[in-house]
Each structure stands twice: as C-alpha cells, then as structure tokens.
Amino acid sequence: MTNLETPDIKNIENGDFRYLLRGQLKSLKDNLQFRKRVVCDPLCKTDTVEIERYPSSAEVIIDGRKMINFASNDYLGLTSHPLITEALKEGIKLYGAGTGASALVTGHTTAHAKLEEYLKELTGKEKVLLLNSGFAANQALIKAHLSLGANLILDRLVHASMQQALFNGKNFYRYEHNNLKKAERLLQKYENTSIFTEGVFSMDGDSPDLQQLVSLVRKYHSYLVLDDAHGFGACGISGQGTPAKQGVSFSDIDIYMATLSKACGLCGAFIAADGDFIDYLVNTSKEYIYSTSAPAYIAHGLLTSLKIINGEEGNALRKHLNELTDYFRKEARNLPGNVILLPSSTSIQPLIIGDNKRLMEISVFLKSKGILCGAIRPPTVPAGTARLRITITAAHDRNDITRLLQTLYDAFNSIT
Ligand SMILES: *Cc1c(COP(=O)(O)O)cnc(C)c1O
C-alpha cells in the first residue's frame, strides 16, 4: 500500500515543487540564513511594581534560561503595565472576546470608534482608520496609491510590509536611504507622486530630516506618507512621535501611519489622513474589508495605553529611556573589535558586525551569558551589514545596560 501522506522524500525528482523547496531550504542553511523560532516567555521582574506583578518584556526565559531581552520593540515597557492589563479585563466584560466579523459588517464597536476618535483628536487629521496590523496598514497604503495611478517614491530601506506590496505595480522608484537630494531628483522627473518613508528606520534607528522633506513635498506638490512604527509613543512631546521630535506638525504629514504594537504595547495599527483618503480605504482596501476586526478589548486597552503615553507617566518613561540610551551610546564607543555603532539617537542601537558567521558566533556567545539581542542578517538588511540590533526599553534599568556593555566587550574581544 502506498502512503499518500508521507511521500518518500528521497525519491522526489527535479520538476516536483518539493524538489525546489528542499533546494531552497538547503541554500538558506548553507548561507546561515535559516530561521527558527524559539519559545520565549516574559518573566516577572522582581524589583518593579509593588501592587501586582505582571510579566515584563525586559527579562525572558528561553529553554529554561533567564535572559535580559534587548530584542523587543516594547519601548516603554507597557506590555507589563498593570493599568493596561486591567483595562483589557474590563474590555472583555464590556464587549466579550472576539468581534465575530469584519469592521464593515458588525465588527466596529464603540471601543473601536472611541479609539479612532482619540487618535483623530491627537493627530488633528480628518479621519483615522484602525487596521489589525502595521503590515496590513502598509499593504493597504501602497496598494491604494498604486490603484490610483500615483508614482511612488520610496526610501530604499522602507519596511518589508511596504516593499512587499510594491510588486503589484510598476510605478515605483527608490532613492538612497535618507538621501533627500536623490529624492528630489525623482520628484523633478515624475509627476503625481507620493513619498513613502519612516519616522525611525527599524534596522538602523535613524530618521530622515522631516522639515526638509516637508518643504520638498510642498515644492513639488507631492504627498507625504510617514510610517512612524518606531517613533509613535516612543519619542516627541507627549509621545507624539518623530514629527513632534523634529518640530514638524501632523498637518504637514499627509498620511501618518503608526503601529499600536510597539511603544503602545498591544497590537494593531492606525492610519490618520484626510477624510476622502480614509473613505477610499474603507471602500477598497482588501486588508480592511476582508479581515475580522481585532477584539474590542484590545481597542479598549489601547485607549488606556495612549492616555499613559500622552501623560506624565509617559514623559517619565521616555526620560528614563533616553537616559539609558545615552548611557549605552557613550560607553559603546569604547567597545573593541572593529564593530560600527550606527549614528542613532533612538532606542534602536545597531552594531554592524558585517559577516553572517561572526554575527552568529557573537549572538551565541551573548545568549550563553544571558543577553538576548536581535541578530539581523540579509535579506532583512543589505549584504555585508549583518548586525546586532539592540533595543533598549524603559523596562530596563542601568544595571541591565552595564551588563549588556560588559558582555559585548567580552564577546568582541574573544570572537574576531
Ligand atoms: C513593525 C513594523 C511594521 C509592522 O507592524 P506590525 O503591527 O508589527 O504588523 C510596519 N512598519 C515598520 C517600520 C515596522 O517596524
């Protein structure tokens, strides 16, 4: 009897898609690019919150080992905030578990409407739309522009969620990272353009000069789309993100998009724009129309998260985060071993190692000493720029940073 469920892998021939599949996996492994998941649970940090302890992203447990986590995007440490956890419980009491339908059917609750209203007030935009993820929001944004026949001009390093959607179209042009002179050349060459860039670049931690970009956009009657996934909540007055940090008003950013999954500590994303653009998305975006809306309790919890972010406590968390980042940068300049610290003033602090093999050896060493950092390799970053992506969060303390620096010192000294 032949077993249809477990084909004889050895006998798969060229021409069968599984032959190609095995070849691709082998080549990923050969290039040290093969990815695997690990089970990683947050731990209760012992010296924080007195009232009730919640697991913090600053310390995690992997394979039974405790590690300090420098790989998360929980910039303000809000994933462990007791008030947000309470709000989530309250949200379940008010709205139940799931929404059971997409937003255009019966999945748009009072909690979703209130959250959109809050973000509308905050950004001063005509309308705000919630999406289930930043990935979905960027797909929707790019596809809308392509379907409207715009010429898209993008920073070469924009997030994969934008790059991915581009391949449905032809009219897109990319400029060298943060090089606004190159962007201007494209603006001179094409009409009916939209510029796509990020507030804080996820793998480099740097930012474009937004004041300069805004004047370019006005000069050429272009349209500016900003993905502020790593800026919103984490920087700027009241956590209003990169525009606020650089003294640019939301009214100068035509479309402002941010995730609610990073500094906000939960999940989802929003797009703030003029009313017509949001109406167009509601009516045409497949990501919006054909996906069940996120549970209402998430929206309810996000309202609490945003109030913390925009208030006094948010200011204190950002101040603490900036102090830790400054301390790290000051000390990291003295690290041995030919590594390059990128010029980032945000809590994303990449150290360029270059070679995949050396990066992986360093990463294994750090893990063995209880330090977890992102080990980012091509194709996520350009070839030859494999890096440690260190993210500092407000859930860390000074001792955590001292331990990180000491361990990096040992790693770079012993692995050359
Ligand atoms: C994380 C990220 C996204 C995707 O957001 P999710 O909510 O995680 O899907 C989009 N853009 C940038 C720049 C990001 O870093």
Report long-range pairs for 336-342 (Cβ below 8 Å, ≥24 apart): 336/409, 336/412, 336/413, 337/412, 337/413, 337/415, 337/416, 339/412, 342/204, 342/205, 342/206
Tell how far the Cα of 12 is from the centroid of ligand 1, in angstroms: 38
- Average pLDDT over the chain reads 93
pLDDT at 43: 86
| CA–CA distance, 212 with 200 (Å, rounded to integer) | 16
Q: Does the Cβ of 259 fall within 6 Å of ligand 1? A: yes
Tell how far the Cα of 136 is from the centroid of ligand 1, in angstroms: 9
User: What is the tens place of the pLDDT at every residue in 341-376?
Assistant: 999 999 999 999 999 999 999 999 999 999 999 999
Please give the number of the atom of ligand 1 that sits closest to the Cα of 269. Answer: 7
Please give the number of the atom of ligand 1 that sits closest to the Cα of 267. Answer: 7
pLDDT at 10: 63
Tell how far the Cα of 341 is from the centroid of ligand 1, in angstroms: 23
Q: Is 54 exposed, middle or buried (0-12, 13-18, 19+ CB in 10 A)?
A: middle
Q: Does the Cβ of 389 fall within 6 Å of ligand 1? A: no
pLDDT at 1: 43
* Closest by Cα among 318, 242, 297 to 78: 318
Place of tokens 């950092």: 373
Nearest residue (by CA) to ligand 1, atom 6, is 134
| CA–CA distance, 389 with 359 (Å, rounded to integer) | 11
List active site positions.
73, 159, 198, 202, 227, 230, 262
User: What is the tens place of the pLDDT at every residue in 276-335?
Assistant: 999 999 999 999 999 999 999 999 999 999 999 999 999 999 999 999 999 999 999 999
User: What strands, in cross-sheet order, belong to the sheet with 224-227?
Assistant: 127-131, 269-273, 255-259, 224-227, 193-198, 151-155, 172-175
Q: Does the Cβ of 135 fall within 6 Å of ligand 1? A: yes
Q: Does the Cβ of 261 fall within 6 Å of ligand 1? A: yes
> With b meaning 16 or more CB within 10 Å and e meaning fewer, what string describes 203-218?
bbbbbbebeebbebbe
Please give the number of the atom of ligand 1 that sits closest to the Cα of 200. Answer: 13
| CA–CA distance, 133 with 380 (Å, rounded to integer) | 19
For the chain, list residues with pLDDT below 50.
1-3, 48-51
User: What is the tens place of the pLDDT at every residue in 246-257?
Assistant: 999 999 999 999
| CA–CA distance, 62 with 72 (Å, rounded to integer) | 14
Tell how far the Cα of 208 is from the centroid of ligand 1, in angstroms: 18
Q: Does the Cβ of 138 fall within 6 Å of ligand 1? A: yes
User: What strands, in cross-sheet order, belong to the sheet with 55-62?
Assistant: 40-44, 55-62, 65-70, 371-376, 386-391, 348-354, 340-341
Nearest residue (by CA) to ligand 1, atom 5, is 134
pLDDT at 5: 52
Contact criterion met (CB below 8 Å) for 415 and 362: yes
For 230, which DSSP code?
Answer: T
Tell how far the Cα of 140 is from the centroid of ligand 1, in angstroms: 13
Q: Are strands 340-341 and 255-259 parallel, antiparallel or unpaired?
A: unpaired
How many other C-beta atoms are found inside a 10 Å radius of the C-beta of residue 200? Answer: 26
